[in-house]
Amino acid sequence: MRQPRQPLAPFDGLWILELDVIDDPERPNSSFREVWRADRLSDLGLPDLGPQQWNVAESPEGTLRGIHAEPWDKLVHVISGEAFAAIVDLRPDSPSAGEVWTGTLDRSVALLVTRGLGNSYQVVSERAAYAYLVNGRWQRGVHYPSVRWNDADLAIDWPIVDDRLSMSAKDRANPTLADHWRTVKG
């Protein structure tokens, strides 16, 4: 794991972690990488994640999940395949509120996404395994802040919008950014 870098977007609370992937020359298609180690992240100046739950979503090409802003921090990593990530600042009092960062995630990159930032991704390879280590626990039936994937105010340029696009009915029904602001600002 190398020194983290903050993305080009003006985000406080989003870090890109470049991982050292060690390929095994004696075994084709074999590798090793360290994705999370508390002392190493602390040495790099990142907040303590204190993980409570580890989630893995496996999906085919075109699957889009998000944009969700659960009340916890997450370390996001694509175990296999590739995903297009879109992170949105949904914190109402943030100087970068409503700003978007996008990038491609693969096995050599992880993101540390802190609470209040909306996390979303779309699988751009044939298949991907998307994992996230979180310091909170998801609960069925609880409403977490979210916004619509195709909100014109966000103008996210999703790579797959043809018949391969797949998402849950719940994500299709997420509110617009303007509706989200009305809800959180009262």
| C-alpha 7: how far from chain center | 13
Short-list 10, 61, 73, CA closest to 36:
73
Q: For residue 38, what are its two tokens? A: 């508390």
The DSSP string of 120-184 is: EEEE-SSEEEEEEEESS---TT----B--TT-TTT----S--STT-B--HHHHTPPPHHHHHHHH
Active-site residue flag, 68: yes
Which residue in 68, 77, 121, 180 is the catalytic one? 68
Rounded Cα distance between 133 and 53, Å, is: 6
Q: Looking at 77, 121, 130, 132, which residue is catalytic?
A: 132
Integer Cα distance of 92 and 19 in angstroms: 32
Determine whether 130 is an active site residue: no
Residue positions annotated with a catalytic role:
68, 132
